[in-house]
């Protein structure tokens, strides 16, 4: 199934990130909020709004940016979004088996994380920063 991912900025321009254990590399990685587009979701935008709220407790002004392939060996399409003016509206709600820590970082810190190789969703991060004119 397709996936959605979002670069979300708070009202004071901090980037919302989630950290969770990933079995492939065997360690906790920082990620942009996102997830699979469920059959119950009307569309990828509905999916990313749900994921943003569940994983961070934040809502904001969501805009579609682009689509990217998950990787060269998959037909999964990742729908890329940005959200601006994000504000905390509720506590987080994780799916069963999810253990996520939410944090905020400055845009400069986010750029450093993208370059570090120690996070996922790098292509989405760069694509969304470019869309916002923040590269």
The whole-model pTM stands at 0.92
Q: What is the pLDDT of residue 125?
A: 97
Question: In angstroms, rounded to a whole number, what is the distance separating the alpha carbons of residues 60 and 39?
Answer: 23
Q: What is the pLDDT of residues 35-47, one digit of tens each?
A: 999 888 889 999 9
Give the separation between CA 101 and CA 56, rounded to whole angstroms.
Answer: 9
| DSSP single-letter state for residue 131 | H
pLDDT in tens, 3-36: 999 999 999 999 999 999 889 999 999 999 999 9
- Determine the longest span between alpha carbons in the chain, in angstroms: 38
* Other beta carbons less than 10 A from residue 30's beta carbon: 20
pLDDT tier at 1, thresholds 50, 70, 90: confident
């Amino acid at each position: 199934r397709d996936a959605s991912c979002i670069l979300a900025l708070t009202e004071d321009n901090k980037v919302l990130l989630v950290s969770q254990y990933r079995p492939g590399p065997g360690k906790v990685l920082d990620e942009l909020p996102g997830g699979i587009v469920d059959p119950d979701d009307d569309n990828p935008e509905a999916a990313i709004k749900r994921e943003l709220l569940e994983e961070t407790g934040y809502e904001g002004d969501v805009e579609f940016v682009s689509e990217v392939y998950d990787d060269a060996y998959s037909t999964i399409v990742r729908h890329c979004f940005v959200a601006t003016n994000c504000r905390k509206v509720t506590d987080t709600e994780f799916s069963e088996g999810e253990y996520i820590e939410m944090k905020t970082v400055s845009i400069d810190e986010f750029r450093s994380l993208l370059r570090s190789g120690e996070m996922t969703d790098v292509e989405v991060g760069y694509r969304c920063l470019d869309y916002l004119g923040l590269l």
